[in-house]
Amino acid sequence: MSDVVPIFLSSDDNYAPFVATTIASICDNTTSFVQIYVLDGGITDKNKEKITELKKQFYHFDVEFIEIDIEKEFGHIDFSHAQKYISLSTYSRFLIPNLKPNISKALYSDVDVIFLGNIADMYAENTDSYALAAVPDYYAQSVIFNKYKQAIGLDLKHSYFAAGNLLIDCEKWRKENILERLFEITKNVNENYKHNDQDVLNVAFENNYKQLPYRYCFCVANCVNTPEDTDIVIRHFNSPVKPWHLNPDTQTALMPHLKEFWKYARMTEFYDDLYQKTLDGEQQAQQLRKLRVINLASKVKL
């Protein structure tokens, strides 16, 4: 395994607390030195300082904020159809290999995640001859997802993957001008593209990526359909109901690893604010009802 693991995270200021929570979970489960690059879509200096405060607890990471002009890079994309909890800054992952030309391989992670295992395990995976390695979306492997594949022009044989956790062969990405290909696809984004940049990446890498085990992006559908899987490296809270909507004392089986999320949030300078913003009473009950519906909808037959 490499002594230095490069990983890119992406965030605007609203998601800054979850950058810190993600970093805390990475450092708590990894012994390798982790070089973190944050694709900065407008994080305030104050929140950057709060994120870097984690260095008082963990000494084996460094963080660099890379400012991204989201409107300049992606303002041409029709974002009117996007799901409300997704921001335009999510597209910035397209830029990763070109931002750091000296890096040959890198990880990318969304920040609505926590790491439960060693990040170096995923980094050590072989990409074989592919520019991208990713985890197939469990729900998307069901027959009922085929209609969606057809809507965005995907081959039904393509294993639609989750874009929240990626392993990128940066050298091959640059050599094959993948960024140019992605920008071409974004020109055709329309109301059929409900999953935004994830759809764009799937179109670009149709039947042409290395498949990784579910343990590197364990989502809602995995929890509902394969709850016995305990060898999880990354738990991705990919539904509209996020762990920060529920307070730390919530007793529910509807969101596995809720306690672990709050364990890592508590390590950050954002904890008090996050706790105060959690929903309580009837609002929280509404979120739990919504979560129950999401879990029921996630039960699939492959």
Q: Which amino acid is at 268?
A: T
Sequence ranges of the domains in the chain: 4-216
* CB-based contacts of 256, cutoff 8 Å, min separation 6: 223, 227, 235
- DSSP annotation of 20 reads H
Query: Whole-angstrom Cα distance, residue 3 to residue 6?
Result: 10
Phi, psi of 91, rounded to the nearest 5 degrees: -70, -15
How would you write the pLDDT of the chain (302 residues) with one tens digit per residue?
458 999 999 999 999 999 999 999 999 999 999 999 999 989 999 999 999 999 999 999 999 999 988 777 776 666 565 555 455 667 889 999 999 999 999 999 999 999 999 999 999 999 999 999 999 999 998 888 999 999 999 999 999 999 999 999 999 999 999 999 998 998 888 888 888 889 999 999 999 999 999 999 999 999 999 877 779 999 999 999 999 999 998 889 999 999 999 999 999 999 999 999 887 767 888 889 999 999 998 988 76
Structure tokens at 212: 């990784």
In degrees, rounded to 5, the angle at the alpha carbon of residue 261 between the alpha carbons of residues 256 and 267 is 160
CATH number of the 4-216 domain: 3.90.550.10
**Contact criterion met (CB below 8 Å) for 281 and 207:** no
Indicate yes or no: pTM above 0.85: yes
Q: Which amino acid is at 125?
A: E
Structure tokens at 43: 């994080």
Please count the residues of the chain.
302
